Amino acid sequence: MVKINFLKITFLGTGTSTGIPIIGSTHPVCLSIDKKDKRLRSSIMIEWDNFKYVIDTGPDFRQQMLYSNCNSLNGVLYTHEHADHTAGIDDIRPFCYRKGELSIYAHQRVLKNLSIRFNYIFKKEGRYPGSPSVNPKIVKENTPFKLFNLEVIPISYLHDDLQVFGYRFKDFAYLTDLKTISDQEIMKLKNLDILVLNAIRIEPHFSHLNLQEALTLIRKINPKKTYLTHISHKLGFHKKVQSELPKDVYLSFDRLELFLD
């Protein structure tokens, strides 16, 4: 197998479903002038060799592709079907125009949901001219798969009672919209260099980890470093929260780039 020299991770968005600032909000965090308090909907880009994939295409996907100067994409991995993670799927069109069919990877349930909501994309016949062209790939629990020369390990967990996939690439893992996870799945996350994990706010939430729950899970997984994402304005100001976090736990922010050997 060809050796992968490094992974580059770009945080395209680090906010929760409403983003920050929330439309019309006068909350102090929404009024902050600190760029790190401005958060688009959560997504990352992962790059290695000459390959680029994104995890999730939320409503801000077009804006994220423009500011990251991304002109080529090999595919999309989806965590689950909620709109803040999928609503930007139509904006994969420019990549399809250049390269043709784009592979999208998701749970079979998620692919079915997308095929209903965006039926014009998934039609085999009579497709609307100019609509995106996709090649759906089913992701299954306990079944690693390959993106060219990179192995991907799906991590399954619950978002309230909805199954969601996170993904592990080498010694990096991305988990968002997590509330509960089994010990069996945690075993797949051992010996990580970097973990990305959701932490929505200080107060408890019915379908997301709050900050204390995230810190407890981080101690259990024990990665070398953790970056928190899917953050709401209720977590607080970036600068203040970061100053209070334990060693080797960081708040992610939009446009942050990480490199892994």
Measured between alpha carbons, how far is 56 from 194 in angstroms, rounded to an integer?
Answer: 19
CATH of the domain at 66: 3.60.15.10
pLDDT tens, residue order, the chain (261 aa)? 456 678 999 999 999 999 999 999 999 999 999 999 999 999 999 999 999 999 999 999 999 999 999 999 999 999 999 999 999 999 999 999 998 999 999 999 999 999 999 999 999 888 888 999 999 999 999 999 999 999 999 999 999 999 999 999 999 999 999 999 999 999 999 999 999 999 999 999 999 999 999 999 999 999 999 999 999 999 999 999 999 999 999 999 999 999 998
Give a yes or no: residue 232 inside a domain.
yes
Give a yes or no: residue 1 inside a domain.
no
- Domain count across the chain: 1
Give a yes or no: residue 2 inside a domain.
no
**What pLDDT, on the 0 to 100 scale, is given for residue 3?**
61
- With a CB cutoff of 8 Å and minimum separation 6, the contacts of 231 are 14, 15, 16, 20, 39, 199, 200, 251, 252
Give a yes or no: residue 45 inside a domain.
yes
Domain that holds residue 34: 7-260
Phi, psi of 62 (to 5 degrees): -60, -50
**What pLDDT, on the 0 to 100 scale, is given for residue 1?**
44
SS3 102: strand
